[in-house]
Structure 1
Amino acid sequence: MNCFGLSHTLYIIYLLQFLVNGTHSRLNLKYAILKQTQTSSLQNDTFAYRQQTKYDVQKTMRVIFYTNNTKTMEASAFDDKYDLKGSGCSTSDKFAIVLHGWIQSCSDEWATSLIERLSYYRGGCVICIDYSVVASLSYMRLYTNFDTLTGAIASIILTLIRQGFDPKRGYMFGFSFGGQLASAVGRSLWPHHIIESIDTCDMAGPGFDPIAVDHSKAGRHVQCFHSSRDKGTFVYSCHRNIMLGSCGLKQPSVASQLHLGSHGLCVDIYINTFDYPFYALNATPSECWSLQKAAKIPEGYTVGYEENYDSQITGQIFVPTSLHYPYNLSKKELLRLLAKK
C-alpha cells in the first residue's frame, strides 16, 4: 500500500514535471519564433531605412566632367551610364577623380585650382564628385553617411570602368574627409579593380582614429600628405607619408594664413607642388617621432603629384615648408636649415 502510494506520487510528480517542461519548452519555442520575427522585422526596417538613406544621399550627388579645364557635363550619381561623347572624355584617356571634404563642394577654390592643374599637367578626363548637400550638414551627420558615400562613389567608378575606363590610367585625390573616402573607395574596389594612383591631403582623423587601417590597399601607389595635429589622421599606413612643415603636425605659414589653418594649408601646398619644388629632407628630423621607416630618397628629391611613380621610394618623407606663399623652401634655404640643425 505504501509502495503503491509512493509509486503513484512519483508518477504524478513525473507527469507534472513533463507537462511543465513541455509547456516551458513550447513557451521557449514560441518566444524564440516571436523574437526571430521581431529581429527579422527590425532587420527589414533597418535595411529599408538604409536603402532610403542611400537614395536620399545619392539623389543629391552630382558627377561633374571636365576636359581641358572646361566643365562639359553634369550627371546624376544614379546614372548607370554616362554620355561620354557629351562629356568630351575618351575611355582611352587618363581619368582623375576629385573628392572634397566637409562643408565643401566642387566649386571651392582649391577644387577648381586642382582641376586646372590636373587638366594641364595630366590631361585626360577630370571628374569631380559633388556631395556638398550631405557635406553641408554637421560633421557627425556626414560621418554617419560615410559608408553610404563610399558605396555611391564606388558605384560611380564601377560605371566608368564598365564603360571602358582603365583603372591603370586612374588617379584619385581626396582632401580631409574626402581623403578617407578616397581610401575607403579604393579598398572597396580592390583587388578586382586597382586604381593606379591615389593622393590624399590631411586625411580626416576625427571619427576615424585610432582605428588601424591599411591605406596602402586603396591603390597601387598611395601617397598621403599630412599637415595638422588637430584635424588630420595619425594613421600613417600609406606607401608614402609626406610630413609637411613641422613633422606633419603644423605649418609655419599658418601665422600668415590663419583662415586656412594647418589643415587647410595642406591642399594649397599640394596644388603648389605642380609649379614649385618642395624639397624633402633625406633623414628624419631629430624633433620628429616616426613609427614608420623613413624613406630612402635621392638628393634633391621633391614631393607632389607624380606622373611616373617611383615605387622604390616608400615610408615617411619630411618636407619643411615656409612662412609665405608658395610655402616651399629653396635649395639654399633648405641647406641653411640643415646647417642650423
Structure 2
Amino acid sequence: MEQSKCRPSDKFAFILHGWKQNCETDWVLKLIDRLTFHRKGCIVCIDYRHYAKAPYIQLYRNFKKITDIMYLKLLSLINVGFNPSNGYMFGFSYGGQLATQIGAALKPHFTFYNIDTCDMAGPGFDLFNNFDHTIGAELVQCLHSSRDKGTAFYTCHQNVRLGKCGYTQAAVISQNRFSNHGLCVQIYINAFDYPFYAICNGQKLCGTTSAAVNIPRGYTIGYKENPNMNITGEIFVPTSANFPYNVQQDELLELSYC
C-alpha cells in the first residue's frame, strides 16, 4: 500500500489473467489503461505467472491453492481499511473462475460490489460444475465467446453471449491474432469506447429458456460504474468481423436490438 500510494478509501480494481499469461500480457496493459481512464482509483494486477506458465492441468490442480493465497491477500487489504463493497474484479478464462471463487470465499462477512469475467474457463471446471457464480459479488457479469475453451454453464447474474450464441466470433475469419476465446477480452476492452448493443431475438436463435428480461432499448454491455442490477439472465450481443468488432446501431434494426 505504501509503495503504490493507494489509500484504503480509494476504489480498488483487481485483474486476474489466464493460462500462459501475466501482468505484462498485452490485454492486461490495455485494460489497466482503460480502467485508469474510466474508473480511476487503485488498479491491482494479481500476477501468478509462476503457476500460469505450467501445463494447464497443473495450473488447474493448483486452483484451490491459488484461491486460498489470494483470499488471504485480500483479507490483509481489508484489515488495513479496504472496503470490498467499493471493489471490482475482472478475470479472463482461468482468472474468471478465480475471481468469483475469491469473492465467494469472502462471504458472508464481506461482499464485492461487482465482478466481470471474460470467457470463464471450461476445461476441468465443467467436469464438476456445482458452483453458483452469483455468490461471488453483488453483480457478476460474464461474457462468453467460445464453445471449446469457455464454460458451457451460465450461472452468473448476467450472461452475455457474444457473436453466434456465445460460441463463435465473426472476427476469427478476418484476423489471425485472436481465437474465439481470446476475442472475448478484446471485445470487453473495446466496449469501454465502442457500443456493443444487446438484441432481443437471441433467445429464438440460440434456443435458451433463460433470456434476460427488462433490457432497456439501446442497452450496451461491458464495464459499468453503476451496473443495472435488475437485468438477469442471458444477454445476446452480435459482433462483427472487423475491429472494434461491434455492430452499428443502424445495422441492428433487422436483428431487433433492444
- TM interval, short-chain normalised: over 0.9
What is the aligned partner in structure 1 of residue 169 from structure 2? Answer: 251
TM-score (norm. length: structure 2): 0.96
Identity %: 52
Larger Rg over CA atoms: 1
Aligned equivalents of 1:299 and 1:167: distance in 2? 31
Aligned partner (choices 179, 182, 207) of residue 124 of structure 2 = 207
What is the aligned partner in structure 2 of residue 279 from structure 1? Answer: 197
What is the aligned partner in structure 2 of residue 318 from structure 1? Answer: 236
Matched residue SS, 2:98: helix
- Deviation string 1:260-284 (CA, Å, 9 cap, x unpaired) is 1100000000000100000001233
Amino acid at match of 2:58: R
Q: Which has the higher helix share?
A: 1
Q: Is the 8 A contact 1:212 1:235 kept in 2?
A: no
Aligned equivalents of 1:191 and 1:99: distance in 2? 22
The answer on 1:163 being equivalent to 2:80 is yes
Q: Is the 8 A contact 2:203 2:209 kept in 1?
A: no
Q: How far did 1:257 drift? A: 2.6
RCO (CA 8 Å, sep 6+): is it higher in 1 or 2?
2
Amino acid at match of 2:168: K
What is the aligned partner in structure 2 of residue 107 from structure 1? Answer: 24
Amino acid at match of 1:234: A
The answer on 1:306 being equivalent to 2:224 is yes
What is the aligned partner in structure 1 of residue 8 from structure 2? Answer: 91
Q: How far did 1:331 drift? A: 0.5
- Deviation string 1:1-58 (CA, Å, 9 cap, x unpaired) is xxxxxxxxxxxxxxxxxxxxxxxxxxxxxxxxxxxxxxxxxxxxxxxxxxxxxxxxxx
Q: How far did 1:195 drift? A: 0.6
What is the aligned partner in structure 2 of residue 194 from structure 1? Answer: 111
Aligned equivalents of 1:289 and 1:153: distance in 2? 38
Matched residue SS, 1:246: coil
- Deviation string 1:203-258 (CA, Å, 9 cap, x unpaired) is 00000114132000001110000000000001111000000000001001111233
Aligned partner (choices 36, 56, 72) of residue 139 of structure 1 = 56
Amino acid at match of 2:92: F
- Deviation string 1:147-205 (CA, Å, 9 cap, x unpaired) is 00000111111111111111111000000000001111111111111111100000000
Change (3 A) 1:277 1:244: same
What is the aligned partner in structure 2 of residue 261 from structure 1? Answer: 179
Q: Is the 8 A contact 1:227 1:243 kept in 2?
A: yes
Matched residue SS, 1:179: helix
Amino acid at match of 2:55: S
Amino acid at match of 2:226: N
Q: Is the 8 A contact 2:71 2:105 kept in 1?
A: yes
TM-score (norm. length: structure 1): 0.73
Q: Is the 8 A contact 1:101 1:175 kept in 2?
A: yes
Q: Is the 8 A contact 2:165 2:206 kept in 1?
A: yes
The answer on 1:220 being equivalent to 2:138 is yes
The answer on 1:176 being equivalent to 2:93 is yes
Change (3 A) 1:293 1:212: farther
